[in-house]
Amino acid sequence: MTALLDAVIGTLQRGLAAETERSLAWSMHVPTGWDPYFTPRMSVLDVYHFGTQHFDHHRRQLALTPPADSGNGAISSG
């Protein structure tokens, strides 16, 4: 499982490194009912960040004590 996770993270990091400011700004409508972290319009950068928000959300659910960074994980869409 660790090897699979490392491979997926590596692929995401390489993809993110290859993005341009312009491509990260591309956006589209997203159905907000799919996930509480979705906003009506999300950029490619927002979608990359979603995975972190989703992970942190479940980490907070499963933690016996709140993590030190127990914010809501929200980002601004500007």
Pair of tokens at residue 45: 């950068």
Contacts of 69 (CB under 8 A, 6+ apart): 56
C-beta separation of 39 from 46 below 8 A: yes
Pair of tokens at residue 21: 């400011």
Q: For the CA atoms of the chain, what is the radius of gyration?
A: 14
pLDDT at 74: 54
Q: Is the pTM of this model over 0.75?
A: no
Query: In the chain, where are the structural domains located?
Result: 2-62
pLDDT at 77: 47
pLDDT at 66: 73
pLDDT (tens digit per residue) in 24-65: 999 999 999 999 899 999 999 999 999 899 989 999 989 888
